[in-house]
Chain A
Amino acid sequence: MKLVIKTATKPGSTRANKTGAWRSFMPVFDHKLCSKCGICAIYCPEGIVFKLENGYFEPDYEYCKGCGICANECPKKAIKMVLEGK
């Protein structure tokens, strides 16, 4: 790594840090219950719940820290927090 003086760093480069490893509980999205409102995406602190082509939503598990806000805020209770398997 070459040091850039001025302590300048490149935009969005934290993406190298895959925070999914932090997770103890994993959000599982049930499309059958989903109304496609997108509240899960709005209130994700990582900004990693994305709309699929079919209009449903899924998180990027590489970064999801498992905070559970999406599950708590989902008006249809379509997201369940499940203990991570070993």
Chain B
Amino acid sequence: MSLLKPGHRGCAGCCDALAGKFVLDAIGEDCIVVSPTGCLEVFTTPYPESAWGVPWIHSLFENAAAVASGVEAALKSLGKKNNTKVIAIGGDGATLDIGLQAISGAFERGHDFTYICVDNEAYMNTGIQRSGATPLYASTTTSPAGKVSFGNPLHKKNMPAIIAAHGSPYVATASIAYAPDMMKKVKKATEIKGPTYVHVHAPCCTGWKFESSKTIEVGRLAVETALWPLYEMENGVVTNVRKLKNRKPVEEYLKMQGRFKHLFTMEGGLEEIKKIQAIADWNVKHFGLE
């Protein structure tokens, strides 16, 4: 049985539950997990229950990296570090927005820990508000599409590049739709000494508005359209990319999701999709995906 136990209150088809399961199963029992506030934290730990089969702590929304660095420092000071892995698993809001400063500090200090961002591209726990990870033109409750708006007007923040700029020895992107690849990267990240980072793309059926059975299919399409490139960076240099054989147009990804529905119904929407296609094209060129 997985180290993330059933009975948790994640939605049917939950991406966070899958990500949590993959992370724990990749690392095993000898770890300590820190979670900031978010869906994964809330649905796994309603007092007096916990879904976690490993030691776990939640403190606040914006401080998971600082808490994790304190855990690591304590283990070192008490002579208990040995092979125990210290892991933070945070959502995109906790990572790209409110927790960014604490993450920057922890990576600068060089603690031996791994930060995993489970990116479902909005604040799902509070009801699908936009975050710094929300992609261009996604409709969220605080960036809704409307008569004069195509939804979120801003581009997704490039968090892996920010972490890489801190001199992290290992930064990788992953997707819950590619479980073996994700687990391999998580394991590798924890085995490399120093602060390492894995950014996991995680489609949320509730927030993105697709059927619960399509969680993996949507995630796969993000990769196949080049909107979510899978790559590894070691010491700031891209060392590995997942190549695409038959790249699909972004429409195939967008049309599956209610959050992009307006692009297909509003006047001028199809024209705007070209801007999203341009993002995919840039990824292909920048990372050499083809």
Residues of A within 8 A of B (CB): 1, 4, 7, 9-19, 22-23, 42-43, 45-48, 50, 60, 63, 65-69, 71-73, 81
A residues in contact with B215, CB < 8 Å:
43, 45, 67, 69
The interface size of chain B toward A, counting residues with CB under 8 Å, comes to 37
Q: Roughly how many angstroms separate A23 CA and B12 CA in the complex, as a whole number?
A: 9
What mask results when residues 41 to 62 of chain B are scored 1 for a CB within 8 Å of chain A, else 0?
0001111111111100000000
Q: Taking chain B's interface residues, is the majority helix, strand, or loop, or is none over half, making it mixed?
A: loop
Please determine whether B49 and A13 come into contact, CB atoms closer than 8 angstroms.
Answer: yes
Chain A CB count within 10 A is highest, among B49, B213, B214, for B213
Cβ distance B53 to chain A, nearest Cβ, rounded Å: 5
Q: Roughly how many angstroms separate A48 CA and B51 CA in the complex, as a whole number?
A: 13
- One of B13-21, B75-83, B93-101, B242-250 contacting the partner: B13-21
Q: Roughly how many angstroms separate A49 CA and B12 CA in the complex, as a whole number?
A: 14
Please determine whether A11 and B54 come into contact, CB atoms closer than 8 angstroms.
Answer: yes
- In the complex, whether B108 has a CB less than 8 A from a CB of chain A is no
Please determine whether B211 and A68 come into contact, CB atoms closer than 8 angstroms.
Answer: yes
Q: Roughly how many angstroms separate A12 CA and B21 CA in the complex, as a whole number?
A: 13
A residues in contact with B54, CB < 8 Å:
11
Number of A-B contacts (CB under 8 A): 109
B residues in contact with A1, CB < 8 Å:
48
- In the complex, whether B188 has a CB less than 8 A from a CB of chain A is no
Identify the closest chain A residue to B205 (Cβ): A67
Q: Which of B119-142 contact A (CB under 8 A)?
A: none
Q: Roughly how many angstroms separate A37 CA and B2 CA in the complex, as a whole number?
A: 18
Please determine whether A46 and B48 come into contact, CB atoms closer than 8 angstroms.
Answer: no
Minimum-distance CB pairs A-B, first 4:
A68-B213, A14-B7, A47-B2, A67-B13
Please determine whether B216 and A63 come into contact, CB atoms closer than 8 angstroms.
Answer: no
Can you report 19 residue pairs joining A to B where beta carbons are below 8 Å apart? A9-B45, A13-B50, A14-B7, A17-B9, A17-B49, A19-B7, A45-B18, A46-B6, A46-B17, A47-B2, A47-B6, A50-B1, A63-B6, A67-B205, A67-B215, A68-B13, A68-B213, A69-B212, A72-B216
